[in-house]
Amino acid sequence: METKYMTAEKFALFVKTYEESGKLPEKKIPCVACGEEVSMFHDNLRHRIAKFGSVTNLLSNFQCRSCRKTEKAPATPKKVKASKSKKPEVKEEITTVSFSPVKLIQSERNVMSFQDIAASKELTQEFTNGSCMQPHMFLNQGRSCKGCIFFDNCLCNCKQVK
């Protein structure tokens, strides 16, 4: 067995030495990923071998701290700054909605004809307080209220008969 940074001979020697003496021929083991040599001896070494299962596993799988960190580090998504120049695409959605036929119901309340309003002094005052009820007539006649049915009780400021 060999690794990127340990020849088969060296690997075999390490395993053999450990099995025979409980020690390694060198106090450092190279990281399998980057080759960085990491010190391991005594309890530290035994602890790591226990963790890896065997000296062979340790030698063939050991990675230094920075390599482990790199592997474990979750891929951080790059923040993409939204380009201000690009306008978000507006997707037009055409939705077809079918309506059931609308029933037109004549409301008995709130429906008043001009005649109804004109017949009541109160209503006329309420409706004409500040605004002309028949501006089309008023303007067509050159600003005159001539013929307006609301004239008698109208409170509009522009009220005048020319």
Q: Can you tell me which of 6, 24, 29, 31 binds Zn ion, judged by CB under 5 A? A: 31
Task: Please give the C-alpha separations between residue 128 and each of 4, 27, 79, 109, 137, in angstroms, as whole numbers.
Answer: 97, 104, 63, 20, 14
Q: Of residues 65-84, which lie at the interface with Zn ion (CB under 5 A)?
A: 67
Is 38 an interacting residue with respect to Zn ion (CB under 5 A)?
no
Q: Give 30's strand partners.
A: 37
CB 133 within 8 A of CB 154: yes
Q: Of residues 81-120, which lie at the interface with Zn ion (CB under 5 A)?
A: none
Is 1 an interacting residue with respect to Zn ion (CB under 5 A)?
no
Q: Can you tell me which of 15, 29, 33, 118 binds Zn ion, judged by CB under 5 A? A: 33
* DSSP character at residue 38: E
Is 32 an interacting residue with respect to Zn ion (CB under 5 A)?
no
Is 156 an interacting residue with respect to Zn ion (CB under 5 A)?
no
CA-to-CA distance for 83 and 77, rounded, in angstroms? 17
- Positions touching Zn ion (CB under 5 A) are 31, 33-34, 36, 64, 67
